[in-house]
């Protein structure tokens, strides 16, 4: 079971420390009055207050960390030194109205899911029930860590009037709601028609091409180094004259300035694969790359006038998205570097001889996947050696060129083996077989997410809502909680550390629940794959320099995957406990080798 609440409670508690005791004694006394009825479920003033404070904390938290990461003062968006009623979100709504509406809509979604679950006789799974049963004890432990009683902690978090009973009630509803959503999500079906319709509507995020690039900027620095516009233009024109990939690579190296030559001194360094239309980040380059008339060897020059730089692109191929991922094992044999980090011809020869020796030993033996995996554990310098050198669900263009081409050779069959050379060393290969279909693997999680989101949204839109006179006693309480909000957002507190470390499972903000569920849906199910490998610094720097206008939002996960993902080690599993100390030392040496390669 995905113990989502372990994450949610840590987030919720981090948010709720923003709150303070803002309600008056009169409001506290009136807290048990019914303020809102949605469907057949009644919510008291305290219930709504609980959700209001949690909602404000979530909104403020997101604003704070989003804008502060860019050096922007969040008070320019919402000033917590002033009442929310006096600040406008837009021309029609105050911040108080926004938060209150957000709170009510959240409750409508929760209630709709909750009541449907009850109507269908849904039984809370044991793991959720266990979390709920330990609620009171865990709450008491958290309070104790903050030198408070439970009552003091709740009041400090949500304001006067909110009691353990309130938090318990809302916790039960939200946990029950989340469990039912997880159950519903597991039963969602995605048809071939769904996949095709999604593909047709989102081709710019799914279709990919392979291209070669050469980027030449202009610059000058305090040390007297400079690269003029005339030099950049001449280099761009020279590279644009290339007729094929080999010429492009050679011309890129010959015409790169001294600062860039290292980026182009190895074969395949100009190649970028798995590029989507929206992932390019430069509209006119995207238009050119995805033009149906494009042929291998076509080149295009983009002149960025603002930055006085040039980008030369050579079209390689367009990739049919309807293909199967592959599963492959490999053993990486790296050549030894000298003290200055250089690799001699003799070192390359020695690495090749070692690779051939290991491969011949494999061919002389059982030639099974299991036997190959054992050899990988013993000899591979890659980070996934402990997992037998396995990469699962590898996409086209995810690996470096020669590795990729071997894997996706049309004649490739399960059990095939061989040796390929890349700039990282020699790879002894073993083809395991095909995995998930690319269209299915890419689209099914998104379609599932859309269906679940639409189902949840439907409750908010159609739920019957009735507000009583007591509803009007709920106000923003911002005057008294702002100090705690500001201090908590800028400085991690001890309670945050304790909560994050302990993984407490208590009441969680449904806003976060829905967001987390959507993330889970987008990630999809199934085995781990090489796509989870971290993007290498070299690949990141390359894309950022070549495509300066692309933003994080524009670049999809596929574009950000490093070609050399195999170097990082895709598996997230820890080595077996019985692994020897020698194996651990070899893994550490492999990591050091990878770091040097990246540099």
User: Do 252 and 351 belong to one domain?
Assistant: no
Q: Provide the pLDDT confidence category of residue 82 given band limits of 50, 70 and 90.
A: confident
pLDDT at position 17: 38
Q: Is residue 67 part of a domain?
A: yes
Query: What does the alpha-carbon distance between residue 249 and residue 235 come to, in Å, rounded to a whole number?
Result: 13
Mean of pLDDT values over 459-476:
83
Give me the CATH number covering residue 386: 3.10.50.40
The answer to the question of residue 542 being in a domain is: no
- The whole-number pLDDT of residue 266 equals 59
C-alpha closest to that of 22 among 55, 43, 52, 44: 52
**Cβ partners under 8 Å of residue 413, min gap 6:** 431
Window from 254-258, 316-320, 553-557 with minimum mean pLDDT:
553-557
Q: Do 121 and 234 share a domain, yes or no?
A: no
Are 307 and 329 in a shared domain? no
Please report which confidence band the pLDDT of residue 138 belongs to, taking 50, 70 and 90 as the band edges: confident
Last residue of a domain, which of 501, 523, 545? 523
DSSP string over 445-473? HHHHHHHHHHHHHHHHHH--EEE-GGGGG
Residue 26 has pLDDT above 70, yes or no: no
Average pLDDT over residues 180-204: 95
Which CATH number covers residue 224?
3.10.50
Q: How many helices and strands (H and E) does the chain possess?
A: 24, 13
**pLDDT above 50 for 508:** no
Nearest to 496, CA basis, from 142, 248, 245: 142
Element (H, E) at 309: strand 309-319
Average pLDDT, the chain: 78
The two three-digit tokens of residue 578, written as one number:
């019985």
Is residue 357 located within the same domain as residue 383?
A: yes
Asked if 20 and 156 count as a contact pair (C-beta separation under 8 A), the reply is: yes
pLDDT at res. 564:
39
Residue 200 lies inside a defined structural domain of this protein: no
The angle, 0 to 180 degrees and rounded to 10, between the axes of the packed helices 95-119 and 45-68 is: 120
pLDDT at 461: 84
Worst-scoring range by mean pLDDT, 173-177, 371-375, 479-483?
479-483
Residue 466 exposed, middle or buried by CB count within 10 Å (0-12, 13-18, 19+): exposed
pLDDT value, residue 29: 54
Distant-in-sequence, close-in-space partners of 56: CB < 8 Å, separation ≥ 6: 18, 19, 84, 99, 476, 478, 481
Mean per-residue pLDDT for 546-557?
Answer: 34
In a domain, 547, yes or no: no
Q: 367 with 476, same domain?
A: no
Q: Hey, what's the torsion of the CAs at 11, 13, 15, 18, to 10 degrees? A: -160
* Residue 549 domain flag: no
Tell me: do 360 and 391 sit in the same domain: yes
Partners of 215 in the beta sheet?
311
Q: Please say if the pLDDT value at position 290 is more than 50.
A: yes
| Same domain, yes or no: 337 and 290 | no
- Domain end point (choices 274, 297, 319): 319
Confidence of residue 131 (pLDDT cuts 50, 70, 90): confident
H helical segments located in 271-325: 277-280, 283-289
Indicate if 32 and 55 belong to the same structural domain.
yes
Question: Two tokens at 579?
Answer: 């692994």
The predicted structure's pLDDT at residue 583: 42
pLDDT digits (tens, 9 = 90+) for 333-372: 999 999 888 899 999 999 999 999 999 999 999 999 999 9
In a domain, 198, yes or no: no
The verdict on 285 and 358 lying in the same domain is no
Q: Give the residue numbers spanning the domain of 591.
A: 325-438+528-534+556-598
Whether 375 and 419 map to the same domain: the answer is yes
Q: Is the pLDDT of residue 468 over 70?
A: yes
pTM for the whole structure: 0.62
461 burial (CB, 10 Å; 0-12 / 13-18 / 19+) is: exposed
CA 304 → CA 239, 284, 539, 568, distances in Å? 17, 11, 22, 34
Q: Is residue 252 part of a domain?
A: yes
- Predicted pLDDT at 475: 62
Residue 199 lies in a domain: no
Angstrom distances, CA of residue 52 to CA of 28, 43, 88, 98: 15, 12, 18, 11
Domain edge (last residue) among 319, 351, 383: 319
Cβ pair 531, 395 in contact under 8 A: yes
Q: Which residues contact 273 (CB under 8 A, 6 or more apart)?
A: 208, 210, 316, 319, 396, 397, 398, 401, 404, 563
pLDDT for position 224? 67
Q: Do 347 and 304 belong to one domain?
A: no
The number of folded domains in the chain is 3
**Contact (Cβ atoms closer than 8 angstroms) between residue 130 and residue 144:** no
Same domain membership, residue 456 and residue 424: no
The more confidently predicted of residues 225 and 390 is 390
């Amino acid at each position: 079971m995905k113990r989502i609440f372990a994450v949610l409670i840590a987030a919720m508690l981090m948010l709720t420390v923003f709150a303070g005791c803002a309600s008056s004694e009169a409001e506290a006394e009136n807290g048990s009055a019914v303020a809102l009825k949605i469907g057949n479920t009644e919510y008291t003033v305290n219930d709504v207050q609980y959700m209001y404070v949690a909602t404000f904390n979530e909104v403020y938290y997101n604003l704070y960390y989003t804008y502060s990461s860019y050096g922007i003062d969040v008070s320019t968006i919402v000033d917590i030194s002033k009442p929310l009623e006096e600040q406008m979100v837009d021309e029609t709504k105050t911040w108080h109205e926004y938060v209150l509406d957000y709170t009510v809509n959240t409750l409508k979604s929760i209630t709709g899911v909750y009541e449907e679950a009850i109507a269908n006789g849904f039984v809370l799974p044991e793991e959720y029930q266990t979390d709920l049963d330990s609620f009171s004890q865990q709450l008491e432990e958290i309070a104790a860590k903050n030198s408070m009683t439970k009552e003091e902690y709740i009041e400090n978090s949500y304001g006067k009037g909110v009691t353990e009973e309130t938090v318990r009630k809302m916790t039960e509803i939200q946990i029950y709601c989340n469990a039912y959503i997880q159950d519903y999500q597991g039963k969602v079906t995605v048809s071939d028609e769904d996949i095709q319709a999604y593909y047709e509507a989102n081709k710019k995020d799914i279709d990919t091409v392979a291209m070669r690039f050469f980027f030449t900027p202009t610059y000058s620095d305090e040390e007297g180094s400079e690269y003029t516009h005339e030099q950049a233009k001449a280099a761009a024109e020279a590279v644009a004259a290339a007729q094929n990939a080999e010429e492009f690579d050679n011309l890129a190296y010959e015409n790169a300035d001294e600062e860039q030559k290292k980026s182009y001194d190895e074969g395949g360094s100009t190649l970028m694969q798995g590029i989507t239309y929206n992932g390019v980040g430069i509209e006119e380059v995207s238009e050119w790359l995805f033009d149906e008339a494009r042929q291998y060897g076509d080149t295009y020059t983009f002149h960025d006038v603002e930055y006085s730089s040039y980008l030369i692109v050579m079209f390689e191929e367009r990739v049919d998205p309807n293909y199967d991922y592959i599963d492959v094992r490999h053993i990486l044999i790296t050549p030894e570097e000298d003290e200055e980090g250089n690799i001699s011809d003799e070192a390359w020869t020695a690495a090749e001889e070692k690779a051939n020796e290991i491969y011949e030993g494999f061919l002389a033996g059982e030639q099974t996947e299991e036997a190959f995996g054992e050899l990988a554990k013993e000899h591979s310098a890659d980070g996934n050696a402990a997992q037998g050198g396995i990469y699962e669900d590898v996409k086209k263009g995810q690996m470096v060129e020669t590795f990729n081409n071997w894997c996706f050779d049309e004649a490739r069959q399960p059990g095939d083996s061989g040796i390929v050379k890349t700039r990282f060393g020699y790879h002894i290969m073993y083809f395991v077989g095909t995995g998930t279909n690319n269209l299915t693997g890419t689209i099914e999680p998104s379609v599932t997410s859309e269906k679940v989101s639409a189902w949840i949204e439907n409750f908010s839109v159609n739920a019957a809502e009735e507000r009583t006179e007591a509803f009007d006693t709920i106000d923003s309480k911002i005057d008294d909680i702002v100090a705690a909000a500001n201090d908590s957002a800028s400085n991690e507190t001890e309670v945050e550390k304790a909560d994050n470390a302990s993984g407490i499972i208590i009441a969680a903000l449904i806003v976060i629940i829905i967001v987390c569920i959507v993330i889970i849906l987008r990630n999809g199910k199934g085995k781990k794959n090489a796509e989870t490998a971290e993007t290498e610094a070299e690949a990141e720097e390359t894309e950022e320099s070549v495509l300066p206008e692309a933003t994080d939002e524009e670049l999809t996960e596929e574009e950000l995957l490093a070609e050399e993902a195999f170097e990082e080690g895709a598996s997230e599993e820890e080595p077996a406990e019985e692994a020897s100390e020698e194996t651990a030392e070899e893994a550490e040496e492999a990591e050091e080798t990878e770091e040097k390669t990246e540099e």
